Structure formats: structure tokens, C-alpha cells
Amino acid sequence: MSLSVPQTHPIAPSPVVAIIGATGAVGQAFLDCLATRRFPLSRLRLLASPRSAGTALPFGNSRITVETLAEDSFAGVDIALFSAGGDISRRYAPMAVAAGAVVIDNSSAFRMDPDVPLVIPEINAKALLDHRGVIANPNCAAVVALMAAAPVHRINRIRRITLATYQAASGAGAAAMAELEASTRAHLAGEIYTPQVLPHPYAFNLFSHNTAIDPATGYNDEETKLMREIPKILGDDAVRVSATCVRVPVMRAHAVALTLECEDPITPDAVRRLLAAAPGVRLVDDAARNHFPMPVEASGRDEVLVGRIRTDRSDPTGRSIALFAAGDQLLKGAALNAVQIAELLKAPRPPERG
């Protein structure tokens, strides 16, 4: 099967690419990914709020001036990479599509829209064939979790996923990253630091993810996103998911502990073989040295690290497996995944999966 953009949104061989939210943490990662992967664009436009307009950002050997995002910003744009929040996406993405662009959106605005594919290229690239101008980038923790779980699901269907996340500052944006750094310096100096961005002290602390809790279910918004997005990406609404999401004092890599309950018995060795062959995954599973995935080693890497693979001894049927994963939130959890989607839109054939 060949992968091509629907004719209503053809992609030029050397497309004009726009980054919306270019001055944010993910926007900066977009710039880095496009440059390091030598994405064959003909022109790059950077769009942001009036506050950021006029800023010059480095791209390769040049500098590009940020423009003010406006309703007429998308004329001539082929691919629009959005990372400026759900409200901006809901307002401007339809304008970009109407102007002929394909939108790849990093917010949660369109993820659960049945007409919008929610894509991790290594897992469900074929979903891109059904896009209508907007493609959603999944929640960053969902990406890390599914890079570990999907290879198992493909061979031995997963009935239930129980997971706990350990989420880095980068997931809350550049301001939260700065707060982690400043609060850590203050703590080490014996000074009082009053949180400005996050609701609780961040240095040497962890707390429930800083999103609102649904009083009816007891789950916060981040947990609810994971529980809804994971079945959609897997293409299996029967998969049951329970999540606990925690913010930890790590700069930019998320970690996830998962327990997968499968239809049939499964062994750690079988899972290791699957993950060792999975694209975008690096197996880190050295029990002799107690060396397993760590955020410090995942930061700056394209691959998601997966290891700590073991049988869940609480399940006497042998159908459950436990593992641990870590991945760079700004890369595979956000910008890299979106750029990989853009690359697939231009590719003559998709990966043989998904």
C-alpha cells in the first residue's frame, strides 16, 4: 500500500513549513528536529504571539524572524506544525486547512475527534490515509507508553494496561523548566522559593500531575487523556487503561511504569525479542548491573528506552508483564513525532506496520 496525502491537501516536494508557537519549548525542538533530520523544506516560517514577533531564532546556519500569528498567516503554507495550546489550535487550525495546509497539532484539541487521526508513526501510520487536513500528535506520556506496549499488542492482544507516569518539567513548558532550575538553586542555597508556575514546590519533590481532577471519577485530566488516547492509537476500544500521572523534578524526559495484561501467556524473553526489533525503541534491560531506562539517558535521544521486563507475579495465569520506559518529552513525545508524521506525508510508502 502506498501512502499519499489526500488530493485535497497535496504536499509539495519541498514544502513550505510553518511552526506555530515557535518560541516555546516544543517550538524550539521543532527547529532542531527539522534541521538535524534535514527535512526538505523550501521555506520555514515561524509564527507566535505579538509579544514574540521580531525575535530571530537560529535554524541551521541562518536566523529566521518570528512573525505574528494572524488569520492570513497560512497562505502558501503546506505543513503547519502547531504547538501553542488547544485554544490557538481550535481557532487557527481550520484557517490553515482552508488555506491548503496540512496541520499536525501537538495540543489535545483534536485528539479524540473521530475524524482526526491520532498518530505514532511506528504504530499506526496507516491512519494518515484518512486525514482531512488535521493530524493529531498524541499526549507525550501516551507516546512513551505505547512505544513500549504496542509491539506486544501487535503479537499478543493487550486486554488491560495499568500505568504510572513520572513526568518531566518540559511537559508543562519552558516556564516550568525554568522554575525547576530556579527552585533547585534556591533549595541548595537554603533559600525560600515560592512556586510561580506549578502548584507545589518542585525541587526535590513530586506531586500529582498539575491538571484538574474530575470529581466524578477521581482521575485528573492527564490521566483521562491517556485512558482515552491509548485505545484510539491501538485501534482497539476494548483495551482497558488505568493511569496515575505524577510530576517529578526531571527536566525533559518522561518515564512510565506499565503492567500489560495480555490475552495469552507471555514471557519476558518474548517481550525482549519484540522490543529489540521494534523501530524507535532501544532495549535497556541489564539486570546484572541494575541498569534500566533512566530519564538522564533518554534525554536528547530519539529512541524510547524500554526495560525492567518481568512477569507480573500477581497474575497466576502468566498473561501479565511489567516493564519500564523512558523517552524525551520534547523529542519523541512531541516535536520528533510530529516531524516523523510530516516525513511520512511525503514518503512514497509507509512503514510495514500500523
From the candidates 131, 209, 254, 262, which is the catalytic residue? 254
Q: Are residues 122 and 176 in the same domain?
A: no
Q: In Å, what is the CA distance from 157 to each residue of 160, 261, 262?
A: 9, 9, 6
- Mean pLDDT, rounded, for 278-288: 98
Alpha-carbon dihedral sign for residues 274, 275, 276, 279: positive
pLDDT at 7 over 90: no
What are the b/e assignments for 1-13, b being 16+ CB within 10 Å? eebbbeeebebee
222 assigned to some structural domain: yes
Q: Are residues 205 and 318 in the same domain?
A: yes
Query: What's residue 266's pLDDT?
Result: 98
* Total number of domains constituting the chain: 2
2 assigned to some structural domain: no
Query: What's residue 5's pLDDT?
Result: 44
| Type of residue at 82 | F
- Mean pLDDT, rounded, for 275-295: 98
Give per-residue pLDDT as tens, 42-59: 999 999 999 999 999 999
- Tell me the residue range of the domain where 129 lies: 16-138+334-346
Q: Are residues 157 and 132 in the same domain?
A: no
Are 5 and 345 in contact by the 8 Å Cβ rule? The answer is yes
Tell me the C-alpha distance between 170 and 176, whole Å: 7
140 is catalytic: yes
Tell me which residue has cell 526538505.
40
SS3 content of the chain, % helix, strand, coil (to 5): 30, 25, 45
Q: Are residues 124 and 54 in the same domain?
A: yes
Q: In Å, what is the CA distance from 43 to each residue of 15, 170, 263?
A: 7, 28, 49
Give per-residue pLDDT as tens, 165-210: 999 999 999 999 999 999 999 999 999 999 999 999 999 999 999 9
Give per-residue pLDDT as tens, 247-265: 999 999 999 999 999 999 9
Q: Are residues 160 and 304 in the same domain?
A: yes
Tell me the C-alpha distance between 122 and 334, whole Å: 14
Tell me the C-alpha distance between 180 and 251, whole Å: 7
Query: What's residue 347's pLDDT?
Result: 53
Residues recorded for the chain: 354
For residue 8, what pLDDT band results from cuts at 50, 70 and 90? Answer: low
Which three cell numbers mark 71? 488569520
Give per-residue pLDDT as tens, 120-168: 999 999 999 989 999 999 999 999 999 999 999 999 999 999 999 999 9
112 assigned to some structural domain: yes
From the candidates 140, 153, 209, 262, which is the catalytic residue? 140
Q: What is the pTM of this model?
A: 0.93
Are 285 and 309 in contact by the 8 Å Cβ rule? The answer is yes
353 assigned to some structural domain: no
The mean predicted confidence, pLDDT, of the chain is: 94
Q: Are residues 112 and 182 in the same domain?
A: no
CATH number at residue 246: 3.30.360.10
Q: Are residues 210 and 258 in the same domain?
A: yes
Largest Cα span, the chain: 62
Q: Are residues 321 and 339 in the same domain?
A: no
Q: Are residues 129 and 167 in the same domain?
A: no
1 assigned to some structural domain: no
CATH number at residue 77: 3.40.50.720
Q: Are residues 182 and 108 in the same domain?
A: no
6 assigned to some structural domain: no
Query: Which of these, 22, 29, 105, 20, lies nearest to 70 by C-alpha position?
Result: 20
Q: Are residues 103 and 239 in the same domain?
A: no
354 assigned to some structural domain: no
254 assigned to some structural domain: yes
Q: Are residues 126 and 147 in the same domain?
A: no
